[in-house]
Chain A
Amino acid sequence: DTEVTQTPKHLVMGMTNKKSLKCEQHMGHRAMYWYKQKAKKPPELMFVYSYEKLSINESVPSRFSPECPNSSLLNLHLHALQPEDSALYLCASSQDGRGAEAFFGQGTRLTVV
């Protein structure tokens, strides 16, 4: 199984809502990532978890809150988002360490209204 599964595929939320994005992998990978991608732009790294601990936070606003409950799951909790946060949110996983291929999910298309 070389799949990273993200749910939901699409999400529309108001600026006062709280929602969560979910990501799951069963490849035994110990590094998991959140990326944000705007249209016609490359994915931008947001967070990296290594062995369920947050190892990289790329100065992401606190309205985005990541969580890694176990080695297979990664969540991104959303609260009080702005319309400019609308984007494709991608989850990825890899073997831990430098020089490891990252596998990506299909993403969650988020629209903030």
Chain B
Amino acid sequence: GESVGLHLPTLSVQEGDNSIINCAYSNSASDYFIWYKQESGKGPQFIIDIRSNMDKRQGQRVTVLLNKTVKHLSLQIAATQPGDSAVYFCAENSGGYNKLIFGAGTRLAVHP
């Protein structure tokens, strides 16, 4: 299930299940979006990106969906594994050249 509180929202899933992480972005002019994975003590790691002229893009075990009407982005992870446990951030190229702005983040906890 998902919980939101004073800390990062957390999505808890069982190993092997599919995970869906959601993100609302702020700028309707943003035209490029990235999902990053950040493990404890490390820098953000690129997962997948999508441009605003697309609705969906698939990678290896991951799919990103973009709904520009409601300014919503989602990351789907198939067959979630313990190694997927991390904090996931969406980022938007917002309002100008090279200006990559991060969303609030979601912690994914994968249980065996």
Question: In the complex, which residues of chain B have a beta carbon less than 8 angstroms from the beta carbon of A106?
Answer: 41-43
Binding stretch for chain B, among A13-21, A63-71, A77-85, A97-105: A97-105
Q: Which of B13-21, B57-65, B71-79, B98-106 lies at the interface?
A: B98-106
**Shortest distance from the beta carbon of A21 to any chain B beta carbon, whole Å:** 13
Interface residues of B in 1-60 (CB under 8 A from A): 7-8, 31-32, 34, 36, 41-46, 49, 51
- Is A94 within 8 A of B98, CB to CB? yes
Total A-B pairs, Cβ < 8 A: 70
Does A48 belong to the interface (CB within 8 Å)? yes
Chain A: residues with Cβ within 8 Å of the partner, total of 28
Task: State the CA gap A42–B100 with chains docked (Å).
Answer: 12
A43 in contact with B98 given A99-B51, A102-B34 (CB within 8 Å):
no
B31 contacts A43, C-beta separation under 8 Å: no
| Residues of B contacting A48 in the complex (Cβ-Cβ under 8 angstroms) | 98-99
Which 6 pairs between the two chains have the least Cβ-Cβ distance?
A104-B43, A42-B102, A99-B32, A31-B98, A104-B44, A106-B43
Which of A's residues lie within 8 Å of B, judged by CB?
4, 31, 33, 40-45, 48, 50, 55-56, 90, 92, 94, 96-107
